[in-house]
């Protein structure tokens, strides 16, 4: 059998030279991780130097006899086929007797046992879903136990990451015991499909990659100023007039349904964002009188500002629109935005000026914004949805429900730490994105700063820390489309994935580099054009389109 030290050397050499960060000058050295290529690192893991073989000709995924999810669970059956393909490629399962591997040296099956009476196989994942699992690799049977299918999906990914090729090219796996669960319940990726339209194929590929990294939320920033690609059944003119093209650059109801189901099959929630009252120029093209007319002196300038907050028709529209949104998107939460509202147009409009005077608001347009946001929140509440808002809504002291989630995105380190402390001190749940705007790029290994940021890195009590539900990596689309989204996102987003999944004390940059390099090569082998961390090579390089 392979000795574990030799296994580590093989895994390390496959990635080329590895860096040593002890000095400011970059000095590559070979330094493999004792955890191989596991990413994100499980909470508890023990890998022994006892090695077993696997072969596509006699390996199979099976449902445990007492599992609450059996052959009728389409979600797991699809996952079995997906991971068999990852492990063995185009190899086909045949009778075990035709394999040269014997029971004494081979793992011939991974038995999956869903332990809770409700497997949740036919439901959607939620912020309260149990994603824990336990994995024991022995021969001839490895066992994966999880309370729900969501934990089982993560366990299948971990099992696939334990498999490597020995020096002869044979599939191998070491005796391993893992007990794992995520540190945070909300681990998200934001994709912006308004600044540049993202084809469904690209969205699905990134959902697949999210599952490889144990992300569980797709925050779909689906519309913005630039375009309105969401095809509404209630208001079809929104996309007909607001999309870049009414037929080629829209997401039909069938497209949206496909994304939601594809995500569900991988344990990923889909949370749409319809940001108002700002970021709504594209809305106004298809919905008359929704936006505020701007004035130049006493005459209309011909331009429009944010949503008009003083018209009753605005709220009638929003009520109908969000009734539809709540029916289309099954997740409990919808993201309502509320950020970056420019008051210039409101200030120029004589009707709004009169409204402000009548209300006694003076020149405090934050109060006007608060009136709009509060009425919108009341509308969404009637749909029985929870809501997420950007931090400005909290900063402007809008009255919020106790279960509101505040999304932090502004400021430097000290600013966002204070914001997180203030929000949790007020008793609200929060999540972080400020250090994880991955559309911002720089030369070199910026993943290290991404990796070191922590949502709980602020002065607070244990009760405050419990209100931090996680975070999101954001890929805004001003300079990103289908040509460069995926390599810009991965493996940099993988650094966020480990920060949100693994234990807080998992911070060793040297070890992270070695595991992330190997994980990046695994993504490349699976067809994902993830960019390199540094000079290196993969055993199987990306083959292109």
Please state, in angstroms and rounded to a whole number, the distance separating the CA atoms of residues 248 and 282: 17
Strands 386-390 and 333-335: parallel
Strands 164-165 and 141-146: unpaired
8 A C-beta contact, residue 536 and residue 15: yes
Contacting residues for 1 by C-beta, under 8 A, at least 6 apart = 49, 50, 51
Kind plus residue range of the DSSP H or E element containing 347: helix 344-348
Question: Could you count the other beta carbons within 10 Å of the beta carbon of residue 320?
Answer: 14
Catalytic residue among 85, 261, 340, 478: 340
∠ CA 335-339-345 to the nearest 5 degrees? 130
Structure tokens at 362: 């003076």
340 classed as catalytic = yes
Please state, in angstroms and rounded to a whole number, the distance separating the CA atoms of residues 204 and 396: 37
Rg of the chain over all Cα atoms, to the nearest angstrom: 25
∠ CA 350-318-281 to the nearest 5 degrees? 60
Provide the 8-state DSSP code for 411.
S
Instruction: From 272, 273, 282, 334, select the one nearest 306 (Cα to Cα).
Output: 282
Kind plus residue range of the DSSP H or E element containing 176: strand 171-180
Burial 355-391 (b: 16+ CB within 10 A, else e): bbeeeeeeeebebbbbbbbeebbebbeebebbbbbbb
Question: Could you count the other beta carbons within 10 Å of the beta carbon of residue 137?
Answer: 24
Q: Could you tell me which residues are beta bridge partners of residue 241?
A: none
Strands 109-114 and 141-146: parallel
3-state secondary structure of 302: strand
Strands 44-53 and 171-180: antiparallel
Instruction: From 217, 172, 212, select the one nearest 469 (Cα to Cα).
Output: 217
| Phi and psi torsions of 168, nearest 5° | -100, 5
8 A C-beta contact, residue 501 and residue 214: yes
Please state, in angstroms and rounded to a whole number, the distance separating the CA atoms of residues 94 and 77: 17
> Looking at the annotation, which residues are catalytic?
340
């Amino acid at each position: 059998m392979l000795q574990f030290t030799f296994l580590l050397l093989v895994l390390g050499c496959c990635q080329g030279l590895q860096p040593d960060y002890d000095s400011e000058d970059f000095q590559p050295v070979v330094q493999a991780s004792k955890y191989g290529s596991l990413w994100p690192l499980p909470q508890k893991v023990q890998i022994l130097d006892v090695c077993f073989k696997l072969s596509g000709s006699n390996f199979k995924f099976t449902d445990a006899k007492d599992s609450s999810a059996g052959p009728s669970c389409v979600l797991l059956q699809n996952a079995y086929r997906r991971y068999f393909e990852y492990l063995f490629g185009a190899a086909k399962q045949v009778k075990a007797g035709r394999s040269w591997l014997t029971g004494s040296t081979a793992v011939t099956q991974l038995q999956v046992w869903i332990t809770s009476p409700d497997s949740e196989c036919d439901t959607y994942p939620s912020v309260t879903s149990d994603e824990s699992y336990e994995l024991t690799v022995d021969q001839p049977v490895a066992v994966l136990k999880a309370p729900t299918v969501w934990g089982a999906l993560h366990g299948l990914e971990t099992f696939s990451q334990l498999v490597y090729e020995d020096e002869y090219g044979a599939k191998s796996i070491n005796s391993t015991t893992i007990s794992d669960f995520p540190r945070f319940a909300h681990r998200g990726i934001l994709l912006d499909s308004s600044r540049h339209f993202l084809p469904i194929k690209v969205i699905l590929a990134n959902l697949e990659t999210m599952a490889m990294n144990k992300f569980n939320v797709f925050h779909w920033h689906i519309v913005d100023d630039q375009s309105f690609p969401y095809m509404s059944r209630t208001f079809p003119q929104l996309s007909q007039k607001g999309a870049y093209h009414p037929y080629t650059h829209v997401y039909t109801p069938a497209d949206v349904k496909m994304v939601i189901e594809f995500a569900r099959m991988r344990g990923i929630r889909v949370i749409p964002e319809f940001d108002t009252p700002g970021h709504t120029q594209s809305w106004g093209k298809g919905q008359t009188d929704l936006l505020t007319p701007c004035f130049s002196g006493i005459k209309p300038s011909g331009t429009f500002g944010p949503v008009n907050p003083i018209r009753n028709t605005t709220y009638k529209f929003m009520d109908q629109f969000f009734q539809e949104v709540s029916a289309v998107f099954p997740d409990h939460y919808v993201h309502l935005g509320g950020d970056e509202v420019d008051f210039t147009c409101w200030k120029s409009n004589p009707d709004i000026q009169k409204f402000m005077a009548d209300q006694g608001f003076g020149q405090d347009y934050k109060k006007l914004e608060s009136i709009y946001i509060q009425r919108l929140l009341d509308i969404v509440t009637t749909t029985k949805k929870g809501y997420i808002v950007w931090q400005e809504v909290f900063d402007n002291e809008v009255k919020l429900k106790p279960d509101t989630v505040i999304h932090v995105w502004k400021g430097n380190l000290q600013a966002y730490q204070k914001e997180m402390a203030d929000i949790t001190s007020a008793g609200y749940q929060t999540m972080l994105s400020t250090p994880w705007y991955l559309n911002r790029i720089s030369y070199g290994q910026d993943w290290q700063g991404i990796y070191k940021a922590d949502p709980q890195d602020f002065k607070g009590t244990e009760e405050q820390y419990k209100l931090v539900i996680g975070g999101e990596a954001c890929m805004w689309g001003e300079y990103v489309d289908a040509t460069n989204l995926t390599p810009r996102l991965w493996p940099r987003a993988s650094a966020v994935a480990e920060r949100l999944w693994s234990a807080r004390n998992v911070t060793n940059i040297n070890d992270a580099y070695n595991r992330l390099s190997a994980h990046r090569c695994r993504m490349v082998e699976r067809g994902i054009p993830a960019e390199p961390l540094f000079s290196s090579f993969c055993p199987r390089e990306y083959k292109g389109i």
